[in-house]
């Protein structure tokens, strides 16, 4: 996971532009709700900066639905699709900030629009993410009133190491087991939310599977290095890989952790490499 700088935009302008594309009756109603929604936006921003919970606006169910439906104007081919495209474009290298495994092709409502219709088109409540992460979060929120999920715009993800991988060197296989272990100094609240993120997005299993794929891609090179220069050559290569990823992605990152742990694992750098498919 990684942070994205919060979108810089005029939220009032967005809201009025979107409202202007609705039918005249709905448009008037949205304009009537404008002051209430702008005040909710201001509270959202203030609370997000200090990671405090935000209470939903008390809305009539019809008004809630009208606000929720504003989001449809951001769909592909719809009048405000450019807002959706701008948010998707903010993903670094187009990758999902929740997992950094897949392309970010969808928008996640950080505060869900079912519960918070007033934030359905607020850019800083819309995170670019992959389909897998979006579905997993939606499922986790169903019937759960606690929103313990990380906010990629406002939480400052720690750079201290909390993600680890254990390399299991079997006789004919190598497996990669990811887990969390928190250093002292990281608040309990943050630890709990990172653990929730890890569990909801099934990152242990997904990282383990991708680690096997990544290793299999370079298995031939590693075996050649081992036979030409011994375990030291393998270690040096993996260490360089780790440094290169770490420079690009400073927060604890599954691929950097993989290269680092592999380079430090003497057993992997000798017999383990020969067991790679
Ligand atoms: Zn993802």
Per residue of the chain (277 residues), what is the pLDDT tens digit? 889 999 988 999 999 999 999 999 999 999 999 999 999 999 998 888 777 778 889 999 999 999 999 999 999 999 999 999 999 999 999 999 999 999 999 999 999 999 999 999 999 999 999 999 999 998 888 766 666 788 999 988 888 889 999 999 887 889 999 999 998 888 888 899 899 999 999 999 999 999 999 999 999 999 999 999 999 999 999 999 999 988 888 777 899 999 999 999 999 999 889 888 8
- Tokens 């370079």 — which residue? 218
Q: Distance (Å, rounded) from C-alpha 59 to C-alpha 29?
A: 12
Q: In what helix (H) or strand (E) does residue 89 lie, and over which residues does it extend?
A: helix 81-89
Residues 20 and 92 in one domain: yes
Are the beta carbons of 173 and 180 closer than 8 angstroms? no
Helix (H, G, I), strand (E, B) or coil at 43: helix
Residues 134 and 198 in one domain: no
Helix (H, G, I), strand (E, B) or coil at 200: helix
Residues 110 and 211 in one domain: no
Q: How far is the CA of 133 from the centre of ligand 1 (A)?
A: 4
Q: How far is the CA of 23 from the centre of ligand 1 (A)?
A: 35
Strands (E), 9-114: 106-109
Q: Is residue 155 part of a domain?
A: no
Q: How far is the CA of 80 from the centre of ligand 1 (A)?
A: 24
Q: How far is the CA of 103 from the centre of ligand 1 (A)?
A: 7
Residues 172 and 102 in one domain: no
Q: How far is the CA of 264 from the centre of ligand 1 (A)?
A: 28
Residues 233 and 111 in one domain: no
Residue 235 confidence (pLDDT): 96
Residues 19 and 124 in one domain: yes
Residues 188 and 124 in one domain: no
Q: Is residue 22 part of a domain?
A: yes
Q: How far is the CA of 228 from the centre of ligand 1 (A)?
A: 38
Q: Is residue 193 part of a domain?
A: yes
Q: How far is the CA of 254 from the centre of ligand 1 (A)?
A: 13
Q: How far is the CA of 223 from the centre of ligand 1 (A)?
A: 32
Q: Of the residues 141, 172, 189, which one is the last residue of a structural domain? A: 141
Q: How far is the CA of 106 from the centre of ligand 1 (A)?
A: 10
The count of structural domains within the chain is 2
Q: What is the pTM of this model?
A: 0.90
Q: How far is the CA of 227 from the centre of ligand 1 (A)?
A: 37
**Domain, as residue range, for 243:** 163-275
Residue 159 confidence (pLDDT): 81
Helix (H, G, I), strand (E, B) or coil at 101: coil
Q: How far is the CA of 119 from the centre of ligand 1 (A)?
A: 22
Residues 27 and 118 in one domain: yes
Residue 145 confidence (pLDDT): 60
Q: How far is the CA of 101 from the centre of ligand 1 (A)?
A: 6
């Amino acid at each position: 996971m990684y942070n994205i700088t919060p979108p810089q935009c005029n939220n009032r302008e967005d809201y009025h532009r979107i409202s202007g594309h609705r039918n005249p009756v709905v448009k008037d109603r949205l304009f009537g709700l404008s002051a209430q929604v702008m005040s909710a936006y201001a509270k959202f921003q203030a609370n997000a900066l200090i990671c405090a919970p935000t209470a939903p606006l008390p809305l009539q169910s019809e008004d809630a639905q009208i606000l929720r439906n504003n989001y449809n104007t951001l769909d592909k081919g719809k009048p405000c699709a450019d807002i959706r495209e701008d948010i998707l474009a903010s993903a670094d290298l187009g990758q999902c900030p929740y997992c950094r495994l897949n392309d970010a092709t969808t928008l996640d409502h950080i505060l869900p629009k079912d519960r918070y219709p007033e934030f359905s088109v607020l850019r800083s409540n819309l995170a670019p993410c992959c389909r897998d992460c979006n579905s997993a979060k939606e499922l986790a929120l169903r019937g759960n009133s606690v929103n313990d999920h990380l906010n990629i715009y406002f939480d400052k993800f720690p750079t201290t190491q909390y993600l680890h991988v254990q390399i299991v060197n079997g006789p004919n296989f190598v497996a990669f087991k990811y887990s969390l272990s928190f250093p002292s100094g990281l608040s309990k609240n943050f630890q709990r939310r990172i653990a929730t993120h890890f569990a909801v997005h099934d990152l242990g299993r997904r990282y383990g599977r991708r680690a096997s794929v990544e290793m299999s891609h370079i298995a031939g090179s590693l075996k050649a290095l081992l036979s030409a220069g011994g375990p030291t050559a393998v270690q040096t290569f993996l260490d360089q890989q780790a440094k290169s990823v770490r420079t690009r992605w400073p927060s604890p990152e599954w691929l950097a952790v993989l290269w680092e742990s592999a380079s430090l694992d003497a057993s992997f750098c000798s017999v383990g490499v020969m067991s790679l498919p």
